[in-house]
Structure 1
Amino acid sequence: MLNRFLFSKIDNSPLIIFRIFFGILISLECYGAILTGWIKRTLVEPQFTFNFIGFDWLQPLPGYGMYVYFFIMGTLGVMVALGYKYRFSIISFTLLWTGVYLMQKTSYNNHYYLLILISFIMCFLPAHRSHSFDLRSNRGLKSDSMFAYVKWAIVLQLLIVYTYASIAKLYGDWLDFGIIRILMLNKASYPIIGELLQEPFIHKIMGVYGILFDLLVVPALLWKPTRKIAFIASVFFHLFNSIVFQIGIFPYLSLAFTVFFFEPETIRRIFFKKKPPYLLQKIEVPSFRNTVYILGGLYFVVQLALPIRHHFIKDDVLWTEEGHRLSWRMMLRSRSGSIKFQVVDKENGEKTTINTKDYLTKKQQRRIGGYPDFIWQFAQRLKKEYAEKGKDIAVYALNSKVSVNGKPYRAFIDQTVDLASAKWNYFWHNEWILPSSTAEKVPKTF
């Protein structure tokens, strides 16, 4: 039964057109980052970036290095779309994109992480066996079919993403539409739709639609009677997100995935009319079957486990942020905070208040007060800077206050803890984050 499900041979048209769409989209993402100034704001202007903890060695290239870096990634995207040196192109892009993802988190979007996952999966798929430049040098690559597991790998990845996104929305601030109201506040200046987005009934529609869409879209696309309705709903949902939230290629990548849900013959007729149809119905169990089972099983176990890890970490993820990333917790919270860093010379007791404006860009300053990993990393940065001057220091976070989803500000960081000496706990709770249940309410004075 499992062999029939995974190793049936089917028309590979959905994979081929997805490769083309995917290559175009990642190239637009990379070239767009250059043209819109994203690279300048995020990777060039900062004195340093807040990398994922443990990847301190991943810092932006100097000078025009990051522009060249993104230009190379964009060009690799074009090569993927053309199917030119496909394996080299997709593996290289995956490594480079993963590098820039780990390099900074001030500008964080879930689709950056999704790109890593999809690129990684695409490294193993035979997406260059039709309509590719690689066939010119190796005609033996040509094939009009693929194993069914190719389709189901993509479908399962999407099912995980959407299902966890829906489940994560089942909490108070989404269900009372408060977080949606907050997210829409800075959209008021949008032409035509700005005022409409402030209406409570729109917030209710968005809240309910968001939960139901994420929960049902994959099953509805899989079931033929509801497939066209689900596709129309997807177009509306993702175009709305593109216009309102301006989240790059993510909405269009999500639409590109829908090619895996339609019948392969339908995709062939729409995009590859001259491509011969693949009509054989056969099961061909490959010699690498066990490898597919083992590696595929391990990969999806990790994908299922990561989004629920916060349940095993002390306190509420909305407060601590521990376990938030890599969990498909999309548009669930709005955070703001304030903090003062005090440096104490351990030798003479001299105290210095740090002005974060001397170190951070405006965007980094908006992050530093509300996110514990940013706070800890900045303390480590100060420790390193003073160590280079021959000074041994302690760093304290004074008057740290955070508001989540517009709620009253509360004390956030234990100001008696020397953050320069504190160790970052990668997998469990960091005790210097004050508990959400007992953190003292503080007035909104900043």
Structure 2
Amino acid sequence: MARPGLHSRQVFIAASPTAWLRPLVQHLIQHLFTPIDIASLVYFRIAFGAIMLWEIWRYFSKGWISRYWIDPVMNFTYYGFDWVTPLPGPGMYILLAGLGILALAIMVGWHYRLSALLFFLGFTYSFLLEQARYLNHFYLICLISFLMIWLPAHRAFSVDARRRPEIAAQAASAWTLWLLRAQLGLVYFYAGVAKLNPDWFAGEPLRTWLAARTDFPVIGHLFTTEWMVYLLSYGGLLLDLGATPFLLWRRTRPVAFGCVVLFHLMNVRLFSIGIFPWFMIAATALFFPPSFPRQLLAHLRGWLGLDSVQAGRPPNRRQMSRVAPIRMKRSAILAGLGLYLGWQLLFPLRHFLYPGNVNWTYEGHQYSWHMKLLSKRTEVEFWVFHPDSQTAWTVTPEDYLARWQARKIGSRPDLIVQFSHFLAAAAERSGYPGVEVRARVMQSLNGRSPQLLVDPSVDLAAEQRTLAPKPWLQPLMEISPSELQS
């Protein structure tokens, strides 16, 4: 005869792992598709387009198009993208002008979907042209511009909504806003995780940088004091790690946003990092309630699709019932969200697959949100040897490269290999086929004494570009925090 008590307990144990999880997942899915005010998406579309337009203007006004893509003798490509090369003739000027027009189109919501797609393709193409110019905020713009393609940010306060009233909507599914928040949250979080290293705990490289910025308004004279070095070092660490949770909590959100704004404004004055601080300030405002931009846009109501909404108030229930339509099924949206966010969660961790200190070897450093962690000084010299004629000569990066390229090559192994291949090809064109190329690369990391980065006995011309660990990289000889401070 069966024992009901035991049977019931077995059923409970078997079902319990999923019994509590299933309603949680269902609640999450329901929340992701709950209608929210579309105002935040509209605000971000305008801010994104305006900042990108400003960035494109900077390229023209500062002569960067010629400097970065036309004048250099060679461009350093990304692995797998050797086929991506600059456009000939005036092509790069035409491309950047087109990107400026597309940024303006995104800002005003004119043919928004097509404009976002073309901007993503064009900006990503320009990003892939030169690895020596890798910056985290360029990568972030590529990601955000890709996400913008899928967001219905043109359904209100846009030329599209005015021209085609049938697409106008005052609400969007919540996942559209949470996707942007998640992307920004991951940037802050991984920037904080990257600071969990002995150098940052010891105050480097911030100590070195602050010592050269004593002209900073009001508090600059304190930058050489140890307590200020540690205050800013640990303050930056805590801000990056705590920004997202404190921005999500309503009670701490205003203070957290104020700290984020202050942090980025200090970075504007301390470092030359372009549009990144301004972009992050604008984007971080997305953590406020979805209706917050309506008060900012109250004086413009009624022109591009917000005329039926009273200034400063969110849409009413009837307006919220009309959500911006999405042609994909929920399952497809959830799969896309899972794949994208899973990639963004895991990809920044790939540097743990490489041996050694990522800040030293640079393997896995890119795309990981490691920002403003390194102060490096390098001395680089290449030796070219032709075995048949027993001819040898030395080359410095400045002999061929632009100054901004030469500053990067000594700290990035993939660039070292690419330049070695370039030297071998140049020697062959000059009548010296089959040369060997070796390098002496001395690197100083965050105030340490210079150390050898590359095995000088390795023929780098024979090394293939690969994503695998490079056995010819020399390990970093660690020193104690006290030695680092001294």
TM-score (norm: length of structure 2): 0.85
Residues 18 and 257 of structure 1 are in contact (CA less than 8 Å); yes or no, is this contact kept in structure 2?
yes
Q: Deviations over 1:314-359 (max 9, x none)?
A: 1111111000010001111111211221112243332122243220
2-side partners of 1:192 and 1:377: how far apart? 46
Letter of the structure 2 residue corresponding to residue 184 of structure 1: L
Q: Deviations over 1:93-118 (max 9, x none)?
A: 11111111111132332111110111
Residue 183 of structure 1, CA deviation: 2.5
Structure 1 stretches of 5 or more lacking a match? 440-446
Specify the alignment match of 2:368 in structure 1: 327
Q: Residues 200, 283 of structure 1: CA spacing in aligned structure 2 closer, same or farther, 3 A cutoff?
A: farther
Residue 253 of structure 1 aligns to a residue in which SS?
A: helix
2:178 corresponds to which of 152, 163, 180: 152
Specify the alignment match of 1:412 in structure 2: 453
Q: Residues 375, 188 of structure 1: CA spacing in aligned structure 2 closer, same or farther, 3 A cutoff?
A: farther
1:11 corresponds to which of 31, 37, 41: 37
Residue 256 of structure 1, CA deviation: 1.5
| Higher mean displacement: 388-397 or 373-382 | 388-397
**1:387 and 2:393 are equivalent in the alignment:** no
2-side partners of 1:438 and 1:8: how far apart? 52
Specify the alignment match of 2:232 in structure 1: 206
Letter of the structure 2 residue corresponding to residue 431 of structure 1: P
Residue 37 of structure 1, CA deviation: 3.0
Q: Residues 261, 386 of structure 1: CA spacing in aligned structure 2 closer, same or farther, 3 A cutoff?
A: same
Q: Deviations over 1:255-274 (max 9, x none)?
A: 22233222223332332463
**1:105 and 2:142 are equivalent in the alignment:** no
1-side partners of 2:322 and 2:470: how far apart? 52
1:184-203 map, 5 Å: 184-188=210-214, 195-203=221-229
1:22-421 map, 5 Å: 22-188=48-214, 195-272=221-298, 274=301, 275=306, 276=309, 277-280=314-317, 288-389=329-430, 391-421=432-462
Residue 402 of structure 1 aligns to a residue in which SS?
A: strand
Letter of the structure 2 residue corresponding to residue 432 of structure 1: W
Residues 377 and 444 of structure 2 are in contact (CA less than 8 Å); yes or no, is this contact kept in structure 1?
yes
Q: Residues 411, 259 of structure 1: CA spacing in aligned structure 2 closer, same or farther, 3 A cutoff?
A: closer
Residues 394 and 419 of structure 1 are in contact (CA less than 8 Å); yes or no, is this contact kept in structure 2?
no
Residues 231 and 258 of structure 1 are in contact (CA less than 8 Å); yes or no, is this contact kept in structure 2?
yes
| Higher mean displacement: 94-103 or 260-269 | 260-269
Residues 8 and 282 of structure 1 are in contact (CA less than 8 Å); yes or no, is this contact kept in structure 2?
no
Residue 258 of structure 1 aligns to a residue in which SS?
A: helix
Residues 385 and 436 of structure 2 are in contact (CA less than 8 Å); yes or no, is this contact kept in structure 1?
yes
Specify the alignment match of 2:20 in structure 1: none
Residues 361 and 413 of structure 2 are in contact (CA less than 8 Å); yes or no, is this contact kept in structure 1?
yes
Residue 438 of structure 2 aligns to a residue in which SS?
A: strand
Q: Deviations over 1:356-387 (max 9, x none)?
A: 32201222222222221111110011122233
Q: Deviations over 1:270-301 (max 9, x none)?
A: 32463323233779897511111111111111
Q: Residues 199, 69 of structure 1: CA spacing in aligned structure 2 closer, same or farther, 3 A cutoff?
A: farther
Residue 196 of structure 1, CA deviation: 4.3
Residue 265 of structure 1 aligns to a residue in which SS?
A: coil
Q: What do you get for the CA RMSD once the two structures are aligned?
A: 2.3
Letter of the structure 2 residue corresponding to residue 141 of structure 1: I
Letter of the structure 2 residue corresponding to residue 33 of structure 1: Y
1-side partners of 2:205 and 2:160: how far apart? 49
2-side partners of 1:58 and 1:254: how far apart? 29
Residue 396 of structure 1 aligns to a residue in which SS?
A: strand
Q: Residues 190, 159 of structure 1: CA spacing in aligned structure 2 closer, same or farther, 3 A cutoff?
A: closer
Residues 55 and 102 of structure 1 are in contact (CA less than 8 Å); yes or no, is this contact kept in structure 2?
yes
Residue 281 of structure 2 aligns to a residue in which SS?
A: helix
Residue 393 of structure 1 aligns to a residue in which SS?
A: coil
2-side partners of 1:260 and 1:399: how far apart? 48
Q: Deviations over 1:182-225 (max 9, x none)?
A: 22344356677654444433322211211111111111111111
**1:425 and 2:462 are equivalent in the alignment:** no
Q: Deviations over 1:109-128 (max 9, x none)?
A: 21111101111111110011
TM-score (norm: length of structure 1): 0.92
Residue 432 of structure 1, CA deviation: 1.2
2-side partners of 1:67 and 1:283: how far apart? 42
1:434 corresponds to which of 474, 477, 481: 474
Letter of the structure 2 residue corresponding to residue 245 of structure 1: F
Residue 129 of structure 1 aligns to a residue in which SS?
A: coil
Larger radius of gyration: 2
Structure 2 stretches of 5 or more lacking a match? 1-26, 480-486
2-side partners of 1:45 and 1:198: how far apart? 40
Specify the alignment match of 1:444 in structure 2: none
Tell me the percent identity. Answer: 35
| Higher mean displacement: 231-240 or 319-328 | 231-240
Aligned residue pairs total 438
1-side partners of 2:216 and 2:423: how far apart? 40
Letter of the structure 1 residue corresponding to residue 342 of structure 2: V
Q: Residues 203, 63 of structure 1: CA spacing in aligned structure 2 closer, same or farther, 3 A cutoff?
A: farther
Residue 260 of structure 2 aligns to a residue in which SS?
A: helix
Residues 171 and 321 of structure 2 are in contact (CA less than 8 Å); yes or no, is this contact kept in structure 1?
no
Residue 76 of structure 1, CA deviation: 1.1
Residues 50 and 104 of structure 1 are in contact (CA less than 8 Å); yes or no, is this contact kept in structure 2?
yes
